[in-house]
A and B are shown apart, each in its own frame.
Chain A
Amino acid sequence: MNDHLLSMHDLTAADVTRILDTAGSFREVGSRVIKKVPALRGRTVVNLFLENSTRTRISFELAAKRLSADVINFSAGGSSVAKGESLKDTALTLQAMGADAIVVRHSSSGSPLQLTRWVDAHVLNAGDGTHEHPTQALLDLYTMREKHGRLDGLRVAIVGDVLHSRVARSLSIGLVTVGAEVTLVGPPTLIPPEAPAWGVEVSYDLDGVIPKLDVCYVLRVQRERQRLEYFPSVREYARLFGLTSERAQMLPETALIMHPGPMNRGVEIDSDVADRPAAVIEEQVTNGIAIRMALLYLLLGGTGEAEAA
């Protein structure tokens, strides 16, 4: 492992396997009555969340606490400029307080990489702008591997607003790294023309893609994209690219339905589709804690008690 986790590009296939395996050993901790191991006792993890995100922050907080680390939550709405202190000064402050790891969520692409230039702590990217969200990608890979027993050769469609999605970037990179076949599906306005350079296929025809899938991964579509003329209406979007009940019927029986949350039911996914057994959306959330435990443990060089856990 590197010192930081900023991008899925930082990881080889072997790294991914090691992280997923480590997460597997932590997965069980969450089902105990006492959900705690002492692996990171005395270490300090700072959750620096400069963009609103309750779900990811809670997941990281639980992960760190289950490893017995001291956790500090530093949240602020809006940009660092809006709160009057620069990101750099905030980072230097956290450094001075002895943070061992900084988990950063920020609306600015590239800010986790910038942080590494200012602090000695290990930096974990918890989502930066429209760039990447590697921990989400890893928990998704974990979920896919758990359900399908493999990642190599898995046929995955990522459907929706790829252009603005850090999840789509990280997941595409991760899936390609482990040998899966990725197809990005969405309106042409929301798929970067250069996406094929990531090693993925691009399609504008969801119906043509669906029958061959092992995983249908649905992205959240923000309604403001309509205002910015990326598509004419939510109605037309849902008709062309929404995972409707009719479309879900066309999926192979073993196919998984996944979504990074939070969902817009009725827009990118029909409500009853989200509640089907094939939809493993809550399991993604549960697995997220184990993945984040594994990453904190591996980055901070835990004391070897993971195996014991």
Chain B
Amino acid sequence: MTERVVFEGVRLVDPLAGVDEVRDVAVADGVLSAETPSDAERIDARGLILIPGLVDLHTHLREPGGEHKETVATGTRAAAAGGYTAVAAMANTDPPADNAAIVQAVRDLAAAAGSCDVFPVGAITRGLGGETLAEIEEMVDAGVRVFSDDGRSVPTARLLRNALTYAKAFPADVVLAEHAEDASLTDGGQMHEGARSASLGLAGRPAEAEEIIVARDLAVARACGGRLHLCHLSSARAVDLVRRAKAEGVRVTAEVTPHHLVGTDDDLVTYDTMKKMNPPLRTAEDRDALRAGLADGTIDAIATDHAPHAVEEKDLEFDLAPPGTIGLETALAVVLTHLVEPGVLPLMRAIEAMTSAPARILGAVDHGGPLEPGRPANLAVFDPSAAWTVEPPFASKARNSAFLGERLRGRVRFTMLRGVFTVADGKPTR
């Protein structure tokens, strides 16, 4: 059932429309309405902020194959709880999403759950093997726009060139998303290589591993003209490379995660496996460069890299624990608390980086605003002053948050997907 509802006195922040004002926002029949229907439910939304539903370019939903970590149902519920109305589901499932059947199955599971739209990402190479191209056309035909072998880089420049070039055959604007780390330098690596890794006795993943692949990929994209997206940038020099490439007109976009915008390798001193990431948390200089890159638009979007793992998988020795943190339920609050409140990033830019920018990259035309009459009511409403502590229970099946125990400000109160509440009064409805 779609709602007829009006958020009264809400602060509307809508980057695509260039709007930041206090007003009433009405929803009827699944779309935003210019008029408030007389029978609309009235919600006193004074002090709350209404934004387009968040869009995540980088979510691991784990289904099929990793249902003990997360399912499409639990992952999309976590997404809704965090204010998301659309997420891109990474292809590294088991079996991987390297064909139309898996893509369709994931989308069907999401539709049945009804919490959040899911845009499956297709694998670039068959079985994520890094050797032969997956059958990209049948996945494009099934609606896939983003392809990625996330978890590792396309191993050779030649294969990347062929993939980017081949993708130009399709009228839809296909984008290749790269996990940029040179495997020869990260093999066995547990954390950022530097003074910390040297004293902790953990093998390093050096920043130049990212820089090398970013430079290679930009050179290839510049030469063949394909559309490249760089996942979860983590190093200052990679940001510089992207900045220069964009100035030269290379068709590249980039994302950064909340944890890379906040954490550093100093966080690893207690061997806390929740802080183990690929790419790793790096230095304060890298973190500051990521923030600057996000502020000036070099980095287009904030993406969670939501990576759920079972409790027993993270409760292991550091080198045996898998990398990654969940992020869907904390992303907005982390960005508000660590970037917007201290004045590092204007609210409008933060919301843009979490809504309209990723929606554009993903080709999710119904998401990311503008929140104008007649447009689908995909939106989120949050209380910017609500303080809360990151702790279980989560809507996600997993609990491996890098922010466990942290006090954050900003909590989602309502999420609507095509005019249906997926979160009401702070609680997921499904």
By a beta-carbon cutoff of 8 Å, the part of chain A in contact with chain B is 79-81, 86-88, 106, 108-111, 113-114, 128-132, 166, 169, 192-195, 197-198
Query: What number of A-B contacts does a CB cutoff of 8 Å give?
Result: 65
* 7 closest A-B pairs by CB: A131-B201, A110-B271, A108-B317, A192-B198, A194-B195, A109-B201, A130-B201
14 contacts between A and B (CB under 8 A): A80-B317, A81-B320, A106-B317, A108-B320, A109-B190, A109-B271, A109-B318, A109-B319, A111-B271, A113-B270, A129-B201, A169-B199, A194-B194, A194-B199
Residues of A within 8 A of B317 (CB): 79-80, 87, 106, 108, 110-111, 114
Closest to A162 in B: B198
Taking a contact as CB atoms under 8 Å apart, the answer to whether A197 and B312 are in contact is: no
Contact of A129 among B198, B316, B319 (CB under 8 A): B319
State in angstroms the CA–CA spacing of A169 and B200 once bound together: 9
Q: How far is the CB of B277 from chain A (nearest CB, A)?
A: 16
Closest to B315 in A: A88
State in angstroms the CA–CA spacing of A192 and B316 once bound together: 26
Residues of A within 8 A of B318 (CB): 108-111, 114
Determine chain B's interface SS by DSSP, over half rule. loop
Residues of A within 8 A of B315 (CB): 86, 88
Taking a contact as CB atoms under 8 Å apart, the answer to whether A131 and B320 are in contact is: no
Residues of B within 8 A of A79 (CB): 317, 320
Closest to B203 in A: A130
Residues of B within 8 A of A109 (CB): 190, 200-202, 271, 318-319
By a beta-carbon cutoff of 8 Å, the part of chain B in contact with chain A is 190, 194-195, 198-203, 270-271, 312, 315-320
Residues of A within 8 A of B199 (CB): 169, 194, 197-198
Taking a contact as CB atoms under 8 Å apart, the answer to whether B200 and A194 are in contact is: no
Closest to A165 in B: B201
Closest to B318 in A: A110
Q: Given the known inter-chain contacts A79-B317, A129-B319, please indicate yes or no for A110 contacting B202, CB distance below 8 A.
A: yes
Closest to A115 in B: B317
Contact of A113 among B190, B271, B316, B319 (CB under 8 A): B271
Closest to A131 in B: B201
Taking a contact as CB atoms under 8 Å apart, the answer to whether B198 and A194 are in contact is: yes
Q: Assuming A110-B201, A197-B198, what are 10 further A-B pairs, CB within 8 angstroms? A: A81-B320, A86-B312, A109-B200, A109-B201, A111-B271, A111-B318, A114-B318, A129-B319, A130-B201, A198-B199
Q: Given the known inter-chain contacts A86-B315, A88-B315, A194-B194, please indicate yes or no for A110 contacting B320, CB distance below 8 A.
A: no
Q: How far is the CB of A222 from chain B (nearest CB, A)?
A: 15
State in angstroms the CA–CA spacing of A111 and B201 once bound together: 11
Residues of A within 8 A of B203 (CB): 130
Residues of B within 8 A of A195 (CB): 198
Q: How far is the CB of B34 from chain A (nearest CB, A)?
A: 57
State in angstroms the CA–CA spacing of A195 and B316 once bound together: 28
Residues of B within 8 A of A129 (CB): 201-202, 319
Residues of B within 8 A of A193 (CB): 198
Q: How far is the CB of A270 from chain B (nearest CB, A)?
A: 29
State in angstroms the CA–CA spacing of A128 and B195 once bound together: 18
Taking a contact as CB atoms under 8 Å apart, the answer to whether B316 and A80 are in contact is: yes
Taking a contact as CB atoms under 8 Å apart, the answer to whether A197 and B195 are in contact is: yes
State in angstroms the CA–CA spacing of A171 and B270 once bound together: 21
State in angstroms the CA–CA spacing of A192 and B270 once bound together: 21
Q: Given the known inter-chain contacts A109-B271, A110-B271, A114-B271, please indicate yes or no for A169 contacting B316, CB distance below 8 A.
A: no
Closest to A81 in B: B320
